[in-house]
Amino acid sequence: MNYYERPTPLQEQAHTEAMQHFAEHLKQFKANCDALQNIERNLSMTAGDAIRVALQSSDRIIQTDDGAQWQHAVDLTGITSVCHRHTPAGLEFAIVESLPLKSGELKDVLNSGHDARDVLQAFVRDQRQVLRVWKDDVNAQVREHLAEKYPHQDMSIVAGSFEIKMARSISQTYVTTQSQSCGVRI
């Protein structure tokens, strides 16, 4: 189907219904894209803040599920934060995710390293990949939903509009380049 064609009334109805059906998915997806954009936009400042807090030390200790103890430095999202600890090899930084579960809280190190900026950049790269997988999953659900709800109807233009909307959300995230940044190493 040519995506420059006007949708039929049935396709418009299907689009409206699908938007309502998947509204929460789209809302959460957009919120995560916005959070990633904010992290990316403030990456250098966040890395600097994490280093400053690490040099001053922190009173808030986070013990991850592997038994390691980290000191909280900077919150990234509602469930992730930059943490640090002193090791024989020097200061180490990590992105720690704290997921609330019915049985308690799962605390996991997503990535770690000795350079706060590198740890944050790795986190951003990983989260971009998570967003791509999430986008593909939601798009597959949309296609399946449309196929069930409108059998034998061409709803590719409707499904395509979801793919475009989600791809735009990902592509709107701010891309930090080396020319915009200055590395801070300890």
pLDDT at 5 over 80: no
pLDDT at 103: 74
Sign of CA dihedral 130, 136, 142, 147: negative
pLDDT at 100: 83
pLDDT at 128 over 80: yes
pLDDT at 181: 45
pLDDT at 183 over 60: no
Q: To 10 degrees, what angle do helices 9-21 and 116-149 make? A: 130
Cα–Cα distance for residue pair 19/162, rounded to 1 Å: 9
- Residue ranges of alpha helices (H) inside the chain are 9-21, 23-41, 43-56, 116-149, 156-171
**This model's pTM is above 0.95:** no
Cα–Cα distance for residue pair 119/130, rounded to 1 Å: 16
What are the domain boundaries of the chain? 9-179
pLDDT at 61 over 80: yes
| Mean pLDDT, residues 97-122 taken together | 90
pLDDT band of residue 59 (cuts 50, 70, 90) is confident
| Mean pLDDT, residues 101-116 taken together | 88
| Mean pLDDT, residues 9-32 taken together | 94
pLDDT at 27: 94
CA angle, corner 17, sides to 12 and 21, nearest 5? Answer: 145
pLDDT at 40 over 50: yes
Q: Indicate the residue type of 161.
A: S
pLDDT at 173: 56
Mean of pLDDT over the chain: 87
The more confident residue out of 106 and 139 is: 139
The token pair at 129 is: 């990949």
Separation in Å, CA 45 to CA 34, 85, 132: 17, 20, 26
Q: Which residue has the tokens 């600097």?
A: 48
